[in-house]
Chains A and B, each alone.
Chain A
């Protein structure tokens, strides 16, 4: 009898509290993308047909008060989910105190500038080439963290972050901080992070600048300094620089074009054309991007990561047509070119693929 009452109470509580909790949040936002794909793998001479789909559900808190937060659940096929953490893309709160702001939970901090290459992204790393150009956000990794943002003046701030250890070992924790401000007409950012990478602790200082001389430009540089081994040599080898140019061009008949060119440079990386390169020590990589807007709702794009040393590349052409409110038709064709041992190779996964699908936000 007691149990029955307890069950009814629980149910009643649920129905009473659930609507209240809904009123305390904004309407959830659902995004779904489905991209039926035909792919060819040259090394095994196999054609594959699949339908990658991704779904995200964002539940933000009400847009008022001194505490805000959001939960974003994300899942995609064919990725296998092994834990709740795989589904929870974001789950954080932000609390605004009189002189600083606290962020706690799973979210992202974007340090530095760069769509594909960003040497200043010392927290997550933006130098690898394993990118999927069919995604809107190319770098969207999130982690659990505690962060404090301290405004210095209206347009500059200092930020500190602590990311807990994945292994429960306190020595695996990540700590970092940055300053963001402007000097004259140039954005200046400088920071530092210390974390465990490949089994040992490293220190990662960085600087980042952004300005405009017609086209907008950005430039970042970072080092990874180990605490053991040949520190000087490892530090030199780790030197990473990235830069980018971005220009918007208005064309006839109100068409427009955006051009972006980024490069990633490892001055002490592997410049040897004869050796087998890999993207972790390749000295130079380029990212050209062109978006041609035929109208505000229809655009064509070209994106490529190019290794100029071995002339290998991974390129994607695409179109995006925003047909109805929140609904778009998308299409992509991707091809990898290069020989065995190059940074990109035709004889690797998805030598060629063709996708046409839709995305919807509601």
Chain B
């Protein structure tokens, strides 16, 4: 019986509280390196001090909720679609970073997201994504003269 209240501690809530405490520490550490220009007031340090203090208090508040088990009820979680979408975003970032252009990455993102939402037509969706990417590229680059990262495919246009 003695263990039952302990079981209701929300681990995820505790992690949130610890993360907030770490953030408060980072803000404080960053603030301590700032120079004060005027002898009268704290200048650029004022706001970081307020933010760091606030985050510390909120870490305590969130910690208390976690111990009480006050957090809202959560549904079960399906990790596969999340990994699929984040993976596609990572591919897009890598493609742009290494000069692959954004079109292939965008088509991949479209197809992966659509798969994450339960469609089973990866090739069709990849082509749809590519067409959307092409239209947007022409619209952005030619009509609005905005620059999008170009790769070998984009240079064809």
Pairing of A with B:
no
